[in-house]
Structure 1
Amino acid sequence: MKKKFLRRDVTRFSKFGNGRGKKAKWRKPTGRDNKMRETRKGRPVIVSIGYRTIKKLREKLNEKTPVKIMNLKDLEKIKKNEIGIVGNIGMRKKIEIAKKAKELKIELKNVNVNSFLKKTEKENKKNSQKEKQENKK
């Protein structure tokens, strides 16, 4: 399990990142009487050798190398030991990529292909019905 290292008074002050995502970052304790620096019992641990992940698993997602996908060509280049991460693209391209990924049985990290396609189909039906009603008026 990956350990989350946080700075000293993170539970005391919100500005140090208590429940604030990216604000919660590591800073080495340097104070003269700092109990955390002295590695006292019951205090949070300090970043040190031994906590690093295994080299085989570093920078991987489910033991697969992540690859950024911006278009269909990028999707077709993906190999067996790679996992796709859909980049910051428009809805039309995203739908095309999701359909192709489902067809090629490629795993995408940040898009649940089946639920995404169902959701977009429902939205398209609603939009087409609204357009028909507007055209009748």
Structure 2
Amino acid sequence: MKNNKLVMIMLILLVAIALAGTVAIVLVLNQNGQDKNAEPTIDEVLEASVDIPELTTNLAENDFIRISFKIQTDSIEAKEELEKRSFQVNNIIILELSEQSAATIKGREGQLQLEENLKVSINEIMQEGEVEKVYITQFLLQ
């Protein structure tokens, strides 16, 4: 009778420990998943961003543009790759701008479309991560 009580107490303790362990694992996994979906801090954004210095180029018509960008990547590795590919990025930007007219990129919608087009084109050459956002940081249309 005494052995039965001891076995029962040990069984209850084992179940309680297993339950506590399961709850702890679920909480840790949920916490990790939430961190990945959280918005990055501004320091993290800057750490994974590349500045594209001012470019001056012709547009499709007789106009020309002076423009610079900040390109946000999803990781430090992607930033390093993007820095190495700066000549390709400059080429992509110049080719994209050469197809634009002043009227198409003058307004907000045109600039947002240019940012999106550049993001898609640059992501095509990326191997280590991807571009999350392209920001126009300077814009002079003449």
* TM-score normalised by L of structure 1: 0.21
The structure where strand makes up a greater share of residues is 2
Q: Which has the higher contact order (CA 8 A, sep 6+)?
A: 2
Is the radius of gyration larger for structure 1 or structure 2? 2
The structure where helix makes up a greater share of residues is 2
